[in-house]
Structure 1
Amino acid sequence: MAVPIRTAVAALCTGLAAALLTTAPARAEKQEHTWAVSASAQAPRARISLDDGTGTLSLSVTRAGRTVIEPSPIGIVTEQADLSQDLRFLHRKNRTIDERYRTKSGKRLDRRVRMNETRLSFATPTGARLDLVVRASADGVAYRYVLPAASGDVLGETSAFHLPPDASAWLGTYRADNEGQFVPYTAATAPTGEYSDQALFATDGGYTLLAESDLTGTYSGARLTHDQGTGAYRVKLADDRVRTDGPLATPWRAMVTGDLATVTRSTFTDDLAPASKAGDTSWIKPGTALWTWLAGGRPAGQSLAAQKAYVDYAAERGWPYEAVDAGWYFKADAWDTTDPDWQTNSWMPELVEYARAKGVGIIVWIHQRDLDTAGERARWLPTLERWGVQGVKIDFMDSEAQATLKWYDAILPETAAHHLLVNFHGSTIPKGIQRTWPHVMTLEGVAGEEKRTNTAAHLTTLPFTRNVVGSMDFTPGAFQRVGLRPNSDAAEAGLAVAYESGLQMFAGTPESYDARPLARDYFDQVPAAWDDTRLLAGRPGQEAVLARRSGDRWFLGGVYAGAARRAEVPLTIGPGRWLVETIEDGTGGLVQRRQVLRGGDRIAVDVVANGGFAGIACAWRPGLTSCYR
Structure 2
Amino acid sequence: MLLTPKNNQMNLKTGILCLICFAGINTQAIDKKYELKSPDKKLSVSILTGDSTTYSVAYKGLNVVLTSAISMKLQNIELGKKVTINKAAASSGKEFNELTLSIKGDYAMVFRVYKEGFAYRFITNIKDSVKVISEQAVFNLLKSPAAFLQETDNYTSWEGPYVKYVSTELIANGKRATTPALFSYHDSGVELVIAESDLFDYPGMYVQKNGDQYNGNWAQYPTKTELGSWGNFVSVVKERAGFLASTTGKRTFPWRIVMVSVDDRDLLNNHLVRKLASPSILKDTSWIKPGKATWEWWHDALLPGADIPSGMPNRNTALYNYYVDFAAENKLEYLMIDAGWSDNYDLTKINPKNDVRGVIKRAKEKNVGVFLWCVGTTLLKDLDKNLDFLASIGAVGIKVDFFDRDDQLAMQWIETIAKEAAKRKLMVNFHGCSKPTGMEKTYPNIVNYEAVRGAESDKWDYTIDPAHHLLMPFIRMLAGPMDYTPGAMRNKTKAAFKPIDPGLPSGQGTRAHELAMFVLYDQPFAMLADSPVEYMKYPDIMQFLSAVPTVYDETKVLAAKIGEYAIVAKRKGEDWYAGAMTNWEPKDLELDLSFLKPGITYTADIYTDGPDAATNAEQYVHQTIEVTNRTKMKVKMAPGGGFAIMIKKSIFKK
TM-score normalized by structure 1? 0.84
1:455 aligns with 2:465: yes
Provide the rounded CA distance (Å) in 2 between the counterparts of 1:457 and 1:571: 26
The equivalent of 2:553 in structure 1 is 531
Task: Name the CA shift for 1:160/1:26 in 2 (closer, same or farther; >3 Å).
Answer: closer
Moved more, 172-181 or 469-478: 172-181
Provide the rounded CA distance (Å) in 1 between the counterparts of 2:553 and 2:111: 29
- Render the CA deviation track for 1:110-166: whole Å, top value 9, x for unaligned: xxxx3222111345xxxx454211112232211001233258411211211122234
Give the counterpart of 1:214 among 183, 198, 206.
Answer: 198
Provide the rounded CA distance (Å) in 1 between the counterparts of 2:115 and 2:478: 16
Give the counterpart of 1:237 among 218, 231, 249.
Answer: 218
- How many angstroms does 1:582 deviate by? 2.0
Q: Which amino acid aligns with 2:257?
A: A
- How many angstroms does 1:226 deviate by? 1.0
- How many angstroms does 1:69 deviate by? 2.3
Provide the rounded CA distance (Å) in 1 between the counterparts of 2:653 and 2:438: 45
Provide the rounded CA distance (Å) in 1 between the counterparts of 2:635 and 2:38: 39
Considering Cα pairs closer than 8 Å and 6+ residues apart, tell me whether 1 or 2 has the greater RCO: 1
Provide the rounded CA distance (Å) in 2 between the counterparts of 1:170 and 1:146: 31
More helix by share: 1
SS of residue paired to 1:504: strand
- How many angstroms does 1:261 deviate by? 2.7
Greater Rg over alpha carbons, structure: 1
Task: Name the CA shift for 1:601/1:142 in 2 (closer, same or farther; >3 Å).
Answer: farther
Q: Which amino acid aligns with 2:134?
A: G
SS of residue paired to 2:405: coil
Provide the rounded CA distance (Å) in 1 between the counterparts of 2:518 and 2:629: 23
1:86 aligns with 2:82: yes
The equivalent of 1:295 in structure 2 is 299
1:361 aligns with 2:391: no
- Render the CA deviation track for 1:426-454: whole Å, top value 9, x for unaligned: 11222111110011111101001101321
Q: Which amino acid aligns with 2:92?
A: T
1:432-511 alignment runs, 5 A limit? 432-452=438-458, 453-480=463-490, 482=492, 483=497, 484=499, 485-511=507-533
Provide the rounded CA distance (Å) in 2 between the counterparts of 1:286 and 1:508: 20
The equivalent of 1:46 in structure 2 is 45
Task: Name the CA shift for 1:609/1:40 in 2 (closer, same or farther; >3 Å).
Answer: same
SS of residue paired to 1:467: helix
Q: Which amino acid aligns with 1:94?
A: A
1:348 aligns with 2:372: no
Q: Which amino acid aligns with 1:224?
A: V
Provide the rounded CA distance (Å) in 1 between the counterparts of 2:41 and 2:624: 40
- Render the CA deviation track for 1:187-245: whole Å, top value 9, x for unaligned: 4333441111201223437333221111112x211111014x62x11101111511123
- Render the CA deviation track for 1:336-382: whole Å, top value 9, x for unaligned: 8388x759996111000111122211111111121123xx2222211
Provide the rounded CA distance (Å) in 1 between the counterparts of 2:314 and 2:440: 28
Moved more, 528-537 or 290-299: 290-299
The equivalent of 1:161 in structure 2 is 139
The equivalent of 1:103 in structure 2 is none
Give the counterpart of 2:385 among 369, 376, 379.
Answer: 379
Provide the rounded CA distance (Å) in 1 between the counterparts of 2:314 and 2:97: 51
Give the counterpart of 1:200 among 182, 198, 202.
Answer: 182
Equivalences, count: 569
- Render the CA deviation track for 1:456-475: whole Å, top value 9, x for unaligned: 21110111111122111111
SS of residue paired to 2:487: coil
CA contact (8 A) 2:592 2:633 kept: yes
Provide the rounded CA distance (Å) in 2 between the counterparts of 1:598 and 1:28: 66
Provide the rounded CA distance (Å) in 1 between the counterparts of 2:190 and 2:653: 44
Task: Name the CA shift for 1:145/1:338 in 2 (closer, same or farther; >3 Å).
Answer: closer
Task: Name the CA shift for 1:622/1:71 in 2 (closer, same or farther; >3 Å).
Answer: same
Provide the rounded CA distance (Å) in 2 between the counterparts of 1:293 and 1:367: 15
Give the counterpart of 1:559 among 557, 581, 584.
Answer: 581
The equivalent of 1:271 in structure 2 is 275
Provide the rounded CA distance (Å) in 1 between the counterparts of 2:129 and 2:139: 25
- How many angstroms does 1:57 deviate by? 1.6
1:543 aligns with 2:580: no
RMSD: 2.8
The equivalent of 2:639 in structure 1 is 609
The equivalent of 2:426 in structure 1 is 420
The equivalent of 2:208 in structure 1 is 225
Q: Which amino acid aligns with 1:534?
A: K
Residue segments in structure 1 that go unaligned for 5+ positions in a row: 1-23, 99-113, 625-629
Moved more, 33-42 or 490-499: 33-42
Provide the rounded CA distance (Å) in 2 between the counterparts of 1:343 and 1:448: 28
Provide the rounded CA distance (Å) in 2 between the counterparts of 1:205 and 1:58: 25
1:311 aligns with 2:324: yes
The equivalent of 1:190 in structure 2 is 171
Q: Which amino acid aligns with 1:358?
A: K
SS of residue paired to 1:294: coil
CA contact (8 A) 1:165 1:188 kept: no
- How many angstroms does 1:422 deviate by? 0.7
1:559-578 alignment runs, 5 A limit? 559-571=581-593, 573-574=595-596, 576=598
Task: Name the CA shift for 1:300/1:583 in 2 (closer, same or farther; >3 Å).
Answer: farther
Provide the rounded CA distance (Å) in 2 between the counterparts of 1:416 and 1:495: 29
SS of residue paired to 1:385: helix
- How many angstroms does 1:478 deviate by? 2.0
1:327 aligns with 2:337: no
Moved more, 252-261 or 395-404: 252-261
Q: Which amino acid aligns with 2:562?
A: P
Task: Name the CA shift for 1:82/1:355 in 2 (closer, same or farther; >3 Å).
Answer: same
Task: Name the CA shift for 1:623/1:148 in 2 (closer, same or farther; >3 Å).
Answer: closer
- How many angstroms does 1:292 deviate by? 1.2
Task: Name the CA shift for 1:300/1:285 in 2 (closer, same or farther; >3 Å).
Answer: farther
Task: Name the CA shift for 1:337/1:151 in 2 (closer, same or farther; >3 Å).
Answer: closer
SS of residue paired to 1:188: helix
Residue segments in structure 2 that go unaligned for 5+ positions in a row: 1-19, 221-241, 302-310, 500-506
- How many angstroms does 1:79 deviate by? 2.2
CA contact (8 A) 2:588 2:637 kept: yes
Provide the rounded CA distance (Å) in 2 between the counterparts of 1:82 and 1:246: 14
Task: Name the CA shift for 1:205/1:88 in 2 (closer, same or farther; >3 Å).
Answer: farther
- How many angstroms does 1:572 deviate by? 5.2
TM-score normalized by structure 2? 0.81
Moved more, 260-269 or 354-363: 260-269
Give the counterpart of 2:284 among 280, 287, 295.
Answer: 280
CA contact (8 A) 1:518 1:591 kept: no
Task: Name the CA shift for 1:594/1:164 in 2 (closer, same or farther; >3 Å).
Answer: farther
- Render the CA deviation track for 1:571-625: whole Å, top value 9, x for unaligned: 452453655432112137221244555547643211111111111234566489x
The equivalent of 2:9 in structure 1 is none
Moved more, 75-84 or 318-327: 75-84
Q: Which amino acid aligns with 1:135?
A: R
Give the counterpart of 2:609 among 585, 588, 591.
Answer: 585
- Render the CA deviation track for 1:541-595: whole Å, top value 9, x for unaligned: 1112211111111111211112223223444524536554321121372212445
Moved more, 578-587 or 461-470: 578-587
1:337 aligns with 2:346: yes
CA contact (8 A) 1:44 1:61 kept: yes
